[in-house]
Amino acid sequence: MAEDVRDRALEYHRLPTPGKIGIVATKPLATQRDLALAYSPGVAEASLAIAADPAEASTLTARANLVAVITNGTAVLGLGDIGPLAAKPVMEGKAVLFKKFAGIDVFDLEVDAKDPDKFVEVVAALEPELRRHQSRRRQGARMLRNRGKAAPADEDSGLP
């Protein structure tokens, strides 16, 4: 029975296209005009609008309906520390659940950084908004080091 599940699971993940997720364009890309609007020169207008008003990022990009699921592969389901590459199928699985049940688009990211401080630094660098929350990053790193148990806050963090 276990062999049958293994074989079916591996075939499911391999065929007809490896993995469970892909990127699908939300705009037409059939003509030269479409491509010019999607990339150059049209994309410059969207970028300039966002530079002038950062709130436009939610109306001109997929940002408002996009999240990242991120792991370093050290605590994957009941599998333990299997590394970031081996965690990818699990992260793709999370991505399809977000899409299926909440309609949210997901990028799965697997980060080769076991050190909690380095992991938090990498994740924070992915999102400019997070850079403003230095004390929360330190708190997050402490929680990772303590396996999710709340750690006392630094005096300067302003967190309880």
H or E element in which residue 147 lies:
none
- Tell me which of 12, 20, 27, 39 is the catalytic residue: 39
Q: Is residue 46 packed enough to be buried (19+ CB in 10 Å), middle (13-18) or exposed (0-12)?
A: middle
Is 39 one of the catalytic residues? yes
- Tell me which of 12, 20, 94, 149 is the catalytic residue: 94
d(CA 147, CA 90): 20
d(CA 28, CA 145): 46
Q: Which residues pair with 80 in a beta bridge?
A: 76
Return the closest-CA partner of residue 98 out of 144, 57, 66. Answer: 66
Using the 8-state DSSP alphabet, how is residue 80 labeled?
B
Is 94 one of the catalytic residues? yes
d(CA 86, CA 91): 10
* Three-state secondary-structure class, residue 67: strand
Q: Active-site residue numbers?
A: 39, 94
